[in-house]
Amino acid sequence: MLIEENFEIKKLTSFKCGGKVKKVIFPECVDDFSKALEENPDAKVFGNLSNTLISTDGYDGVIILTTKMDRFSFEGDTVFAEAGLKGPKLSQAAAEKGLSGLEFMIAFPGSVGGEVFMNAGAHGQSISDVFVEALCYSSEKGLFKMLKENMHFAYRTSICQKENIIILSAKFKLKPASSSDIEAKMQENLKFRKDRQPSLALPNCGSVFRNPEGDSAGRLLESVGAKNFTSGTARVYENHANFIINSADATSEEILGLMLKMHNAVKNEYNIKLMPEVRYLGGCNQREDEICKILYQK
């Protein structure tokens, strides 16, 4: 398995931001993954870094990226997919089989593991609707399987976030549908993203904050004028106030500073504390640590 030291992570992140990571491991199968974690028990695990902000000052630790664990297969209306497989690729493959349930993934840049971890969804579909079981890993249990009823799926969350459970692969049960209906739904999802959300050609991490219960983070942020907020070369997207764009070569401190400005504006106006969807990895910058204590309510 590929192991890189003092690895420049910036090029792999969708935010196009980040410094050197002490060690990055790229397992290609479950055995590789288990070995990597046994040898590096404190390693942080990520998919394709589509919703992760890594400090410009780097990370003095080990991370494991599942991007090379990307196999998938179909058996009737059931699909098995490894954690590192990109959502759009799986969505397209299901469509070609005439299977519905994963159309929402076509517009998401994330990987299967991350989408299960956060119960991703959009346009009336979500992971929890089609999820059957997952092969998981935790430091307490090692490798184990988790059925849907034990996942505690809710809006943008699962038990994995609360108990530090890592998804290695998942199984989904889909429904046969006409190719034209599936394609129409996929095109609708892509059009919505194009009209409302920034292209991946603009470095961004997707939605910055989760929607608070009964409301929309985008609506709240727009109402406090967040579309005009900037921090260095980081700016809020002009078409949707819950996205941050790295306009040039923004640092992680500038991006976190902009997140704090957005958070504080909503808190001051509505007494609502928005919770980030973006994951952060750092620890070498005191100011960033201070901001994260506020944003992530640690």
pLDDT profile of the chain (298 residues), mean per 10: 96 95 97 94 91 96 96 98 96 96 88 92 88 94 95 92 93 96 92 83 92 94 98 96 96 98 98 95 96 92
* 54 in any annotated domain: no
Kindly state whether residues 223 and 178 are assigned to the same domain.
no
Catalytic residue check, 207: yes
* 81 in any annotated domain: yes
* 245 in any annotated domain: yes
* 52 in any annotated domain: no
Kindly state whether residues 91 and 189 are assigned to the same domain.
yes
pLDDT per residue as tens digits for the range 69-116: 999 999 999 999 999 999 999 999 999 999 999 999 998 878 999 999
Query: What span, in angstroms and rounded, lies between the C-alpha atoms of 167 and 117?
Result: 7
Catalytic-labelled residue, pool 34, 138, 156, 222: 156
Catalytic-labelled residue, pool 34, 138, 277, 279: 277
Name the residue range of residue 120's domain.
72-196
* 133 in any annotated domain: yes
* 206 in any annotated domain: no
Report how many domains make up the chain.
2
pLDDT per residue as tens digits for the range 19-36: 999 999 999 999 999 999
Alpha-helical (H) ranges within the chain are 30-39, 87-96, 112-117, 127-130, 159-163, 179-196, 217-223, 252-270, 286-295
pTM of the entire predicted model = 0.89
**Which two structure tokens, joined as six digits, stand for 1?**
């398995």
Query: What span, in angstroms and rounded, lies between the C-alpha atoms of 84 and 264?
Result: 35
Rg (CA), the chain: 19
* 87 in any annotated domain: yes
The pLDDT of residue 139 = 85
* 55 in any annotated domain: no
What three-state secondary structure class fits 5? strand
What three-state secondary structure class fits 21? strand
Catalytic-labelled residue, pool 111, 126, 207, 231: 207
Specify the CATH number for the domain of residue 88. 3.30.465.10
- Show which of 196, 225, 256 is a domain's final residue: 196
Query: What span, in angstroms and rounded, lies between the C-alpha atoms of 204 and 199?
Result: 9
Neighbours of 178 (CB within 10 A): 10
Q: How far from 12 is each of 102, 132, 156, 241, CA to CA, in Å? A: 25, 30, 24, 25
Kindly state whether residues 136 and 247 are assigned to the same domain.
no
Kindly state whether residues 167 and 233 are assigned to the same domain.
no
The pLDDT of residue 192 = 84
Catalytic residue check, 253: no
Kindly state whether residues 130 and 164 are assigned to the same domain.
yes
